[in-house]
Structure 1
Amino acid sequence: RDDLFQTPVDELFSTVMSIVQIQERNKIRVFLRKDPYGRFCYCLAYVPRDIYSTEVRQKIQQVLMDRLKASDCEFWTFFSESVLARVQLILRVDPKNRIDIDPQQLENEVIQACRSWQDDYSALTVETFGEAHGTNVLADFPKGFPAGYRERFAAHSAVVDMQHLLNLSEKNPLVMSFYQPLGQVSGQRELHCKLYHADTPLALSDVLPILENLGLRVLGEFPYRLRHTNGREFWIHDFAFTAAEGLDLDIQQLNDTLQDAFVHIVRGDAENDAFNRLVLTAGLPWRDVALLRAYARYLKQIRLGFDLGYIASTLNNHTDIARELTRLFKTRFYLARKLSGDDLDDKQQRLEHAILAALDDVQVLNEDRILRRYLDLIKATLRTNFYQTDANGQNKSYFSFKFNPHLIPELPKPVPKFEIFVYSPRVE
Structure 2
Amino acid sequence: SLHEREQVRVFMRNDAWGRYVSAMVYMPRDHFDTRLRKRISALLNETLDAEHVDFFIMLGESRLARIHFIVHTPVGTTYHYDAEAIERQVARIVRGWADELKHNLVGHFGEERGNALLRRYAAELPQFYQERVTPASAVSDLERLEAAELSGRVEVKLSAPQGDDGSHQHLKLFRRGRPRPLSAILPILENLGLTVLSEQPFNLPQSDLHVADFAVQLPDPAALDDDGTRRAFVELLERLLRDEAENDGFNRLVLLAGLDGRQIGILRAYRRYLRQAGLPFSQAYIEQCLATHFSITRSLVELFEALFSPTADDARAAAISGELTAALLQVSNPNDDRILAALQTVIEATLRTNAYQSASDGKARDYLSLKLSSRDIPFLPEPAPLYEIFVYSDRVEGVHLRGARVARGGLRWSDRMEDFRTEVLGLVKAQMVKNAVIVPLGSKGGFVCKRPPPVAEREAFQAEGIACYTTFIRGLLDLTDNLVDGEVVPPRGVRRRDADDPYLVVAADKGTATFSDLANGIAIEYGFWLGDAFASGGSVGYDHKKMGITARGAWEAVKRHFRELGLDTQTQPFTVVGIG
Q: Report the TM-score when normalising by structure 2.
A: 0.54
Superposition pairs of residues 1-16 of structure 1, within 5 angstroms: none
Unpaired segments ≥5 residues, structure 2: 10-25, 44-51, 70-86, 397-449, 451-580
Superposition pairs of residues 106-255 of structure 1, within 5 angstroms: 114-141=94-121, 143-168=123-148, 173-184=153-164, 189-226=167-204, 231-244=206-219, 248-250=223-225, 252-255=227-230
- Give me the whole-angstrom Cα distance separating, in 1, the residues matched to 2:340 and 2:42: 67
Q: Once the 2 structures are TM-superposed, how far is the Cα of residue 59 of structure 1 from its aligned partner?
A: 7.0
- Give me the whole-angstrom Cα distance separating, in 2, the residues matched to 1:163 and 1:376: 48
Q: Once the 2 structures are TM-superposed, how far is the Cα of residue 85 of structure 1 from its aligned partner?
A: 11
Q: Once the 2 structures are TM-superposed, how far is the Cα of residue 144 of structure 1 from its aligned partner?
A: 4.5
The equivalent of 2:524 in structure 1 is: none
What amino acid is the match of 2:328? L
- Give me the whole-angstrom Cα distance separating, in 2, the residues matched to 1:70 and 1:361: 61
The equivalent of 1:326 in structure 2 is: 301
Deviations 1:25-75 (A, max 9, x none): xx7999xxxxxxxxxxxxx99844xx6755357679999xxxxx9978689
Deviations 1:188-240 (A, max 9, x none): 8322222222233232112111111111100011123235xxx4322332211
What amino acid is the match of 2:287? A
SS at match of 1:346: helix
The equivalent of 1:314 in structure 2 is: 289
What amino acid is the match of 2:333? V
Deviations 1:305-348 (A, max 9, x none): 1111111111111112111111111122124xx56xxxx43222
Cα gap change, 1:293 to 1:57, in 2 (>3 Å): closer
**Would you say the 8 A contact 1:29–1:47 is kept in 2?**
no
SS at match of 2:184: helix
Q: Once the 2 structures are TM-superposed, how far is the Cα of residue 277 of structure 1 from its aligned partner?
A: 1.0
- Give me the whole-angstrom Cα distance separating, in 2, the residues matched to 1:326 and 1:396: 18
What amino acid is the match of 2:159? Y
Cα gap change, 1:330 to 1:71, in 2 (>3 Å): closer
Q: Once the 2 structures are TM-superposed, how far is the Cα of residue 109 of structure 1 from its aligned partner?
A: 11
What amino acid is the match of 1:273? D
Count of paired positions:
359
SS at match of 1:141: helix
Alignment pair present for 1:366 and 2:359: no
**Would you say the 8 A contact 1:180–1:192 is kept in 2?**
yes
The equivalent of 1:95 in structure 2 is: none
**Would you say the 8 A contact 1:388–1:396 is kept in 2?**
yes
Q: Once the 2 structures are TM-superposed, how far is the Cα of residue 86 of structure 1 from its aligned partner?
A: 11
Q: Which moved more, 1:212-221 or 1:416-425?
A: 416-425
**Would you say the 8 A contact 2:273–2:390 is kept in 1?**
yes
Unpaired segments ≥5 residues, structure 1: 1-13, 31-43, 64-68, 78-83, 92-106
Superposition pairs of residues 49-60 of structure 1, within 5 angstroms: 54-56=34-36
**Would you say the 8 A contact 2:148–2:175 is kept in 1?**
yes
- Give me the whole-angstrom Cα distance separating, in 2, the residues matched to 1:289 and 1:310: 16
SS at match of 1:419: strand
Alignment pair present for 1:356 and 2:325: yes
**Would you say the 8 A contact 1:403–1:419 is kept in 2?**
yes
Pick 1 or 2: higher relative contact order, CA cutoff 8 A, min separation 6: 1
Q: Once the 2 structures are TM-superposed, how far is the Cα of residue 389 of structure 1 from its aligned partner?
A: 0.9
**Would you say the 8 A contact 2:371–2:389 is kept in 1?**
yes
**Would you say the 8 A contact 2:254–2:261 is kept in 1?**
yes
The equivalent of 2:361 in structure 1 is: 392
What amino acid is the match of 1:357? A
**Would you say the 8 A contact 1:179–1:251 is kept in 2?**
no
- Give me the whole-angstrom Cα distance separating, in 2, the residues matched to 1:130 and 1:45: 26
What amino acid is the match of 1:165? L
The structure number with the bigger radius of gyration is 2
